[in-house]
Amino acid sequence: MSFQLVCIECDSIGVVIDHGELAPPSAIVRCSHCSAARGTLGELRSLALSERRDLFDVGLDINGTGAAL
């Protein structure tokens, strides 16, 4: 399973990560709009470090914990 940058259920790009920066790489990242599973935190970090990281500056919302990706 690869990380879904855009939600297949609602087309939102916002995500929520339970436990924020304390979450393990295997933690499930959920859609901030409909809570559908979008992938794992490890997959999100890999994407954020890639050349596509600019896409994340728009809609990333990490549940108020200020987690660093």
Binding site for Zn ion (CB under 5 A): 7, 9-10, 12, 31, 33-34, 36
**Nearer to Zn ion among residue 22 and residue 28 (C-beta):** 28
CB neighbours of residue 23 within 10 Å: 19
The answer to whether the beta carbons of residues 39 and 3 sit under 8 Å apart is yes
**Is 42 exposed, middle or buried, given 0-12, 13-18 or 19+ CB atoms closer than 10 A?**
middle
Least gap, CB of 44 to Zn ion (angstroms): 15
**Nearer to Zn ion among residue 36 and residue 49 (C-beta):** 36
**Nearer to Zn ion among residue 33 and residue 45 (C-beta):** 33
